[in-house]
Chains A and B, each alone.
Chain A
Amino acid sequence: MNKTIKGKAFVVGNDIDTDQIIPAEHLVYSLDDPEERRFYGRYSLSGVPEKESGLPHGGIPFTAPDKFRSEFKVIIGGKNFGCGSSREHAPFSIQEAGAEAVVATGYARIFYRNAVDGGFIIPYESHDDLVENISTGDEVEIDGELNIIKNLTTGKSYPLKKLGDVIEIVEAGGIFKYAAKHGMI
């Protein structure tokens, strides 16, 4: 995966479910309409309880009030990121806010699949729990070729797991592009 993602990190904890990523009341906007879809960026991760939003201290919204884009490029999470519903609006909202990757110790299956098949964000898995090692606002860089994430603020690097089975779909940019490339559609 020949891609580098660099920017500020936003840190949350374990079991961030899809209601926290995009609360159900916001699932009504069009995902196609350029004006309306921006609201998914505004409300992305708005369901995370305040004290757990932007660790270690909390109290930091992923997208600032009244903005549509987030200043954060990479989300750092713990285990079981994206558990709960099958709403594809969840990875979509993170992409719409401007982030490009999530790094977590594990994912709920449907969220992972949606992130990959929709080509929204890259769901990296880390060996170590980075929630303890990266603070919200730290500058990080993901090297997709070497499979490492560097915390440029502290100077430390952490290994990421290889993308495995799904790498071809990630590299193609989603399931439709993958299928087209292989003559399936």
Chain B
Amino acid sequence: MSMTLTEKILAKASGRTHVDAGETVWVNVDILMTHDVCGPPTIGIFKREFGEDARVWDKNKVVIIPDHYIFTNDKYANRNIDILRAFAADQDLPHYYDVGTERYKGVCHVAMPEEGFTRPGDVLFGTDSHTCTAGAFGQFATGIGNTDAGFILGTGKLWVKVPETMKFIFEGEIPPYIMAKDLILQIIGDIGVDGATYRAMEFAGDGVMRMDMEGRMTLTNMVIEGGGKNGVIEPDEVTFDYVRQRTDYDFTPLYNDPNPKYHSVRRYKSADLQPMVAKPHSPDNKATVTEVRGTRLTRAYIGSCTGGKITDFEAAAKIIKGHQVGVETYVVPATTLVREQLKTTYFDGETLWNIFEQAGAHMGEASCAACLGGPSDTFGRLQSEEICISTTNRNFPGRMGSKKAQVYLASPYTVAASAITGKITDPREYLPVEQDISAGGTP
């Protein structure tokens, strides 16, 4: 019987020729990723269960990327980095990206592809719910807790229930004022924050396959906001080019069989899409920008694993160039590489960095920063009754630091246009005629 891409990866990882949705299987893990919030308790569980002197199952398959609470004076948060550092040294882990060194990266879900760990056909588990981002590469990738991660550290295995797949097809070219974030906010609004619970979400159609890898990552990043277990996109030449430029690892891409059994298939006409927001306090509280146009704001935030990639800043800069921001605006590159790219990527003769700085934005260091609130001294954190528009992925009560704050989620285009006016603004009012952006080029 035909299998979906997700079923095929799990069949391969469990040493079976066939699996059905709903079955529970034990899979071999290709990569385990953890960070500074969940790494220390994972290490604690590993040592408790396997012994103080136990070795990890395969040091080449463990990736530790501190990213959550980095630029803070919180003593407990800083202690967590010390625990990671000591463990990496003790276990002689080659893939540890230490804070305060040139190896420091920032947000794990963007650093993982940069470092070549997102490989088609493989299985990735991570102690972070947005691990699902890597599904953009045709990998099975999902978030787990500390106990499961501690179990993997010792055994290299984990049980999973094979999910059914919901397929989302976007037909036709995406309009120039629409970004991947608009697509996923539309979907989550349609299915609800538990609409895909226990299921895989697959994205397909020429509207999706014409996207670059970063656009695709924006889609798969937010499947967890629909309750999904993993997001997935069939790999193609765009995927292979990206991965092969970053690793020599010999991956085996997998694809859907012809006519596999789906839980459901939804089709969207790309031309009908509108710029979207998620209103407070839930990612499925959808509205078109037109419906909430003019809503007063006190802050704008561009950053995170879903909205802090270089293409997100290219989009925002296109709109902000030549303007001053009308509200406090925070720019937080996901990784140190993205931060560097801000200084080497030009739009209309100016670096992205200068465009944001000259517009009056606050420029941050690479990390998760205020996306999830964090310690009270976190850059950009909402401390009280702010009304923020943000390119991040969650707007539950208190998510960005204060229960009194309100957060609207939107695309980098919409956030940039709204930053200028201080009100929710349709990006079409500010989008210039299409111009080329060239990374590393001369002005």
B-contacting residues of A (Cβ < 8 Å)?
15, 17, 19-20, 23-25, 27-32, 36, 47-49, 79-80, 83-89, 106-110, 113-114, 117-118, 165, 174-176, 179, 184-185
Say whether chain A's binding surface is mostly helix, strand, loop, or mixed: loop
From B24, B37, B76, B154, contact of A185 by CB (8 A): B154
1/0 contact string of B280-301 vs chain A (CB within 8 Å) = 0010000000000000000000
Can you sample 19 A-B contacts with CB below 8 Å?
Answer: A15-B194, A17-B394, A19-B373, A20-B396, A24-B37, A28-B76, A30-B44, A31-B44, A32-B48, A80-B194, A84-B129, A84-B224, A107-B197, A110-B129, A110-B145, A113-B144, A113-B148, A165-B161, A185-B154
Given contacts A89-B41, A176-B151, are A84 and B374 in contact (CB under 8 A)?
no
Instruction: Determine if B44 and A86 form an interchain contact, defined as CB atoms under 8 angstroms apart.
Output: no
Instruction: Determine if A28 and B74 form an interchain contact, defined as CB atoms under 8 angstroms apart.
Output: yes
Instruction: Determine if A109 and B37 form an interchain contact, defined as CB atoms under 8 angstroms apart.
Output: no
Instruction: Determine if B396 and A19 form an interchain contact, defined as CB atoms under 8 angstroms apart.
Output: yes
Instruction: Determine if A114 and B194 form an interchain contact, defined as CB atoms under 8 angstroms apart.
Output: no
From B41, B49, B194, contact of A108 by CB (8 A): B194
From A19, A29, A30, contact of B394 by CB (8 A): A19
Instruction: Determine if A86 and B155 form an interchain contact, defined as CB atoms under 8 angstroms apart.
Output: no
Instruction: Determine if A109 and B198 form an interchain contact, defined as CB atoms under 8 angstroms apart.
Output: yes
Instruction: Determine if B40 and A109 form an interchain contact, defined as CB atoms under 8 angstroms apart.
Output: no
Residues of B within 8 A of A24 (CB): 37, 68, 372-374
Residues of B within 8 A of A106 (CB): 194, 197
Question: Is B321 at the interface (CB under 8 A from chain A)?
Answer: no
Tell me the bound Cα distance from A30 to B40 in angstroms.
8
Residues of A within 8 A of B126 (CB): 86
Tell me the bound Cα distance from A85 to B143 in angstroms.
8
Tell me the bound Cα distance from A21 to B100 in angstroms.
32
Tell me the bound Cα distance from A70 to B254 in angstroms.
49
Smallest Cβ-Cβ distance to B282: which chain A residue = A15
Tell me the bound Cα distance from A31 to B131 in angstroms.
23
B133 to chain A, nearest CB (A): 13
Instruction: Determine if A88 and B146 form an interchain contact, defined as CB atoms under 8 angstroms apart.
Output: yes
Residues of A within 8 A of B50 (CB): 185
* Among all A-B residue pairs, the 10 with the closest Cβ atoms: A88-B145, A28-B76, A114-B145, A86-B143, A80-B194, A118-B147, A86-B129, A88-B146, A17-B396, A24-B372
A62 to chain B, nearest CB (A): 14
Tell me the bound Cα distance from A175 to B372 in angstroms.
29
Tell me the bound Cα distance from A48 to B399 in angstroms.
11
1/0 contact string of B222-255 vs chain A (CB within 8 Å) = 0010010100000000000000000000000000
Instruction: Determine if B197 and A19 form an interchain contact, defined as CB atoms under 8 angstroms apart.
Output: no
Tell me the bound Cα distance from A86 to B37 in angstroms.
11
Question: Is B336 at the interface (CB under 8 A from chain A)?
Answer: no
Smallest Cβ-Cβ distance to A115: which chain B residue = B145
Tell me the bound Cα distance from A117 to B399 in angstroms.
26
Question: Is B330 at the interface (CB under 8 A from chain A)?
Answer: no
Among A25, A80, A108, chain B packs the most CB atoms within 10 A around the CB of A25
Residues of A within 8 A of B214 (CB): none
Question: Is B398 at the interface (CB under 8 A from chain A)?
Answer: yes
Interface of chain B residues 53 through 102 with chain A (CB within 8 A): 68-69, 74, 76-77, 79-80
Tell me the bound Cα distance from A89 to B394 in angstroms.
18
Tell me the bound Cα distance from A74 to B127 in angstroms.
27
Residues of B within 8 A of A165 (CB): 24, 161
